[in-house]
Amino acid sequence: MNPIDPNANPYAAPRAPHAHLPYAAPQPPGSYTRREGDALVHTLGANLPAVCMKCGRPDGLVPRNHTFQYTPPWTVLFFVLCNLVGIIAMLIMRKQAKMVLPLCQPCNERWRKAMIALWAALGVMFVPFVLGLVLASASETAAGVLLSLAGIGFVALMVVSFALVRPALLRTKKIDATHIWILGVHRQVLDQLPQS
């Protein structure tokens, strides 16, 4: 909670609750960015503060276009019970938010490398899996080896996801009709935001 300034004018026009964070452009009326636990809550369509979301640096920023996606966790239950119903539920309930993220050059480069590593890990998993399915009719041994390699690829995908990709990217906790909850924002940025 902010201390009350004894020199403040009680009749002055209200200011934005986080006016100390610089913004690249004026905020639309009614929009805000606040902190809710470890998440940054942001009004969709508004500008994020002009600081790197990953390290908190205010200089050398580059805009990064990113589409966040969120699917409610309960839709996985439908997928487990019935694949087709689960896929349909996931597609219907999925929400997206297109945003321009301010990142400094080093954080932007880490983001790019993390995405390359993720796609490479997906390739290491899916190529042997597909080849194993194709060769299953020709040779059970070759198919077994390739499916084992796909399993190793899956482990590699999990390791890459949690060790490299997760720390480098921002993630979505929730998206509703007006706001997005973003995880992975640097603590320095979160500490400057009002808490809800």
Given its phi and psi angles, is residue 88 left (phi above 0), alpha (psi -120 to 50 degrees) or beta? Answer: alpha
Instruction: Specify the higher pLDDT residue, 33 or 12.
Output: 33
Residue 167 has a pLDDT of: 74
Residue 26 has a pLDDT of: 61
pLDDT of 9 above 50: yes
Residue 27 has a pLDDT of: 63
Residue 185 has a pLDDT of: 93
Question: pLDDT band at 159, cuts 50/70/90?
Answer: confident
- In the predicted model, what is the mean pLDDT of the chain? 79
Residue 17 has a pLDDT of: 44
Q: pLDDT tens across 34-77, in order?
A: 899 999 999 988 888 889 999 999 989 999 999 999 988 888 77
**H-helix or E-strand containing 183?**
strand 179-183
Question: pLDDT band at 103, cuts 50/70/90?
Answer: very high
Q: For the whole prediction, is pTM greater than 0.75?
A: no
pLDDT of 154 above 90: no
